[in-house]
Chains A and B, each alone.
Chain A
Amino acid sequence: MNQPILELKNIKKVYPGVVALKNVSMKFYPGEVHAIVGENGAGKSTFIKTITGAIQPTEGKIFFEGKEIVNNNPIKSLSLGITAIYQEFNLIPYLSVAENIYYGRFPQKFGFVDYKTMYKNAKKVLDWLGIDINPKTIVKDLSVGYQQIVEIAKSISMNSRVLIMDEPSAPLTNNELKYLFNVVKKLTQQGVAIIYISHRMEEIFDLCHKVTVFRDGEYIKTMNVADTNKNDLFALMVNRKLNDNFPNRNYTPQEVVLEVEGLTTSKVSDISFKLHKGEILGFAGLVGAGRTEIALAIYGADKVRSGSITLKGKRIINKSPAQAIKNGIALIPEDRKKFGALMNMTIKENISYSMLKKIAWKFGIIKANFEKKTANEYKDVLSIKTPSINQKVINLSGGNQQKVILARCMFTDCEILIFDEPTRGIDIGAKQEIYALMNSLTQQGKSIIIISSEMPELLGMADRILVVYNGKIAGELLKKDADQQTILKLASGCDGGTYEN
């Protein structure tokens, strides 16, 4: 326990325009479980990638057993015994357990795979873990929990000295979780250093020795778990200054526009809430909590199993986005490139795309001049920075792309706009413009739902915040009661004590 197995010194990673990681100096010791906590975007993934050599730090050094790792890359770090288990497993579903454990390192005899030895060795590793799986089982037939065990077995078979586990408990049931804990404890007895990344506070206090907090790409503090508590951790995770880059909202409660009751899909269950005229309603939650899925269900893009949606007192059923748009609901999707803009089409073509009927004569012939006029109007109103509306959207900056999508939604004459991560990857200037636009839209009587992982944004813009955890609404906060710590607690499932899967 005296010499660190892995040490990071002053690691900094800069991407063009953003500092993804800075001030990271940490030590990891054999036999220790070291937890890393932080909000979405706190820099945890960049941190993992730096250690595994998937990316190169801009500054700083990494030492393994006191020796510097020069030009780190995934192969080098693997050969040192640094392994990682990601949220999405790297298993090949149609191969057997043993084949997955030894994938790329098959024991060989005369150039053929020596299956006998492979199965024998795999069995040994699995036995050591105390798990009873036949190494010949096809991986896709295993439960998620067992698949994770296979991942761990793979790491062990590579003589892992440092094992990084990224949200290992997320897909597990309570029973599987206990099992995972046992395995982790066994590994620490063997002197493996574990880097444990998790959103779940309980696990950190049950399992880990040390905990490090990251916030906004910055290393904040490392503590002994015994010397801290949940509230302190939450406070460190969100302890940032709130700036006042947001427009002044003066919303007074008005009539209900949208009422959702008991909405249930395969991803979310029993979602009920009301949206008022002129209101901005925020949805907070961790990535994967089900916020986007709620939006997609309302928007007709995901299949609704049960529940009702009432718009201005009229029950509506949106079976497709086309129908939702007809009913006056518009969505600005999370991923601009994949789901938002038509990147290879022009600004003009993107703006009219959801409402082509409005710019066409009876037989579908497009009124070219009217389309041009419309696009130019939106270009001016939203101040889209481009030399021409005939510019392809792919050539615009992120902020301007987002404005084009917003223009497309506005052209549908919708009553309700759903913004999913509206300012992700957008520079500060464009962000403020989008906030101002949202504000003016609500002043015109539109209602807005905003889904965001950026807490300052939610706290700055939303009049009311719903926190989503595990596919359900975990709490509702009025603007005056909302603060970062309360939101984070609800989003981590720590309030109300629901800790199930």
Chain B
Amino acid sequence: MKIKEQISKFGIWFALIALVIIFSLTTETFLTQTNLFNIARQVSIIGICSVGMTFVILMGAMDLSIGAIIGISAVVSATMMSNGIQPVLAVITSLILGVAIGLFIALIVNKIGILPIIVTLAMMTALRGACFIITGGMPVYGIPKSFLFLGQGYVGFFPVPVIIMIIVFIIGYVILEKTVIGRVVYGTGGNEDASRLSGVSVKKVKYFVFAIQGFLGSLAGIILLSRVNSGQPSAGTGYEMDIITACVLGGIRVTGGEGKILGVIIGVLTIGVLSNGMVLLGVNEFWQMIVKGAVLLIAVTADKISKKTSNKMSEGSVKTA
């Protein structure tokens, strides 16, 4: 039992290390400085969003609209900039839009009582439609050079998106571990009814969490725009999949209330290494999708097994108490 528990606790570390070893042995390019920085840059977008998703899942909800929020944010800022509006203004507008979308999702969840997964499924579809309407289905060009620093620049040694991701992770960590709002996010996900009866404003928690999620999705969209240098109406499509997988791999319990953001960093890196390694090995894109789907299933299964083990453990300790 002990060994099983240890494996499920540190399984994600084993998985990451194993992947690194496999790809290092099977490709010549994997373990090079350029490639490792490449991975870091590639994961920055899903890394930023996975912090927001961590909040959402911990609170006991699920967000499928995050990829579409990335898209709408990229498209809106691109369109504004190509029409000559100052990049700073375009960025601020997009961030406000992201927060507004998050608040809208929370509003529907709170007022009408629809499950977040359904509300965000509807948002995902609707926002993607909006992306194509705004752009007329065509990529938006004419992004000012000065804006490209955000996605392509370096500060000293480090790529800017990676720095932003690290900052977001640190802020996320502090909020979840050290503040009142972090505590009630965990509590709400752990037991919403008990939280309400304890005097927690569960609805406020939902507004806060979805606002953060919208903000970070929007931030990621802006960085993505700056990296690819054009506003693609399909930007961010399917990202929700990688983001949710990263969180679950990182040990965030799908039913909420449990998991640490430090694990999510490892989850994000695992997804990054996996994608990068498969590309280097020349694995066909469609096989990559199958592998990622399998990884999500395995992660959830591991989560389920560890839950069973920990339940058994606690039952045992009740008896001895």
Contacts and interface: CB of A to CB of B under 8 A. Distances in A.
Contacts of A333: 194, 197
Interface residues of A, number: 39
A354 interface: yes
Given A339-B193, A344-B190, A356-B180, A412 B199 contact: yes
A341 B258 CA distance: 15
Given A339-B194, A365-B178, A412-B199, A400 B184 contact: no
Interface residues of B, number: 25
Q: Tell me if B's interface is mostly helix, strand, loop or mixed.
A: helix
A167 B183 CA distance: 44
A353 interface: yes
A325 B199 contact: yes
Interface string B166-205: 0000000000001111011011001101111111110000
Nearest to B253: A344
Contact of A342 (B194, B199, B201, B317): B194
Contacts of A325: 199
A240 to B, nearest CB: 29
Given A342-B190, A343-B190, A321 B196 contact: yes
B180 A366 contact: yes
Contacts of A354: 198-200
Contacts of B194: 333, 338-342
Contact of B186 (A301, A321, A345, A366): A345
Interface stretch (A33-41, A140-148, A388-396): A388-396
B190 A339 contact: no
Given A331-B197, A353-B200, A366 B183 contact: yes
Contacts of B195: 342, 353
B321 A397 contact: yes
B179 A364 contact: yes
A120 interface: no
A321 B183 contact: no
Interface string A326-342: 10000101000011111
A357 B96 CA distance: 28
B183 A356 contact: yes
Contacts of B321: 385, 395-397, 400
Contact of B191 (A326, A342, A397): A342
Interface string A270-300: 0000000000000000000000000000010
A322 B200 contact: yes
A320 B203 CA distance: 11
A457 interface: no
A217 B196 CA distance: 35
Nearest to B187: A342
B179 A395 contact: no
Nearest to A326: B199
A394 B186 CA distance: 15
Contacts of B258: 344
A353 B183 contact: yes
A321 B198 CA distance: 7
A19 interface: no
Contacts of A326: 199
A320 B186 CA distance: 20
Contacts of B186: 345, 349
B27 interface: no
Contacts of B197: 299, 301, 321, 331, 333, 339-340
B178 to A, nearest CB: 6
B42 to A, nearest CB: 34
B105 to A, nearest CB: 22
B179 to A, nearest CB: 4
Interface string A393-410: 011110010000000100
B199 A322 contact: yes
A131 to B, nearest CB: 38
A316 interface: no
A408 B201 CA distance: 16
Contacts of B191: 338, 341-343
A368 B194 CA distance: 23
A360 interface: yes
A340 B187 CA distance: 12
Contacts of B272: none
Contacts of A301: 196-197
Contact of A338 (B193, B199, B318): B193
Interface string A107-124: 000000000000000000
B257 interface: yes
Contacts of A322: 199-201
A378 to B, nearest CB: 15
A345 B187 contact: yes
Given A301-B196, A322-B200, A397-B321, A360 B179 contact: yes
Contacts of A338: 191, 193-194
Contacts of B190: 342-345
Contacts of B318: 394-397
A139 to B, nearest CB: 25
B314 interface: yes
B249 to A, nearest CB: 20
B232 to A, nearest CB: 38
19 contacts: A301-B196, A320-B199, A320-B201, A321-B196, A338-B191, A338-B193, A342-B195, A344-B190, A344-B257, A345-B186, A345-B190, A353-B198, A354-B200, A360-B179, A364-B181, A385-B321, A392-B314, A397-B318, A412-B199
Interface of A: 299, 301, 320-322, 324-326, 331, 333, 338-345, 349, 353-357, 360, 363-366, 368, 385, 392, 394-397, 400, 408, 412
Given A344-B258, A364-B179, A396-B318, 13 more contacts: A321-B196, A322-B200, A333-B194, A339-B194, A341-B191, A342-B194, A343-B190, A344-B257, A349-B183, A353-B198, A356-B183, A366-B180, A366-B183
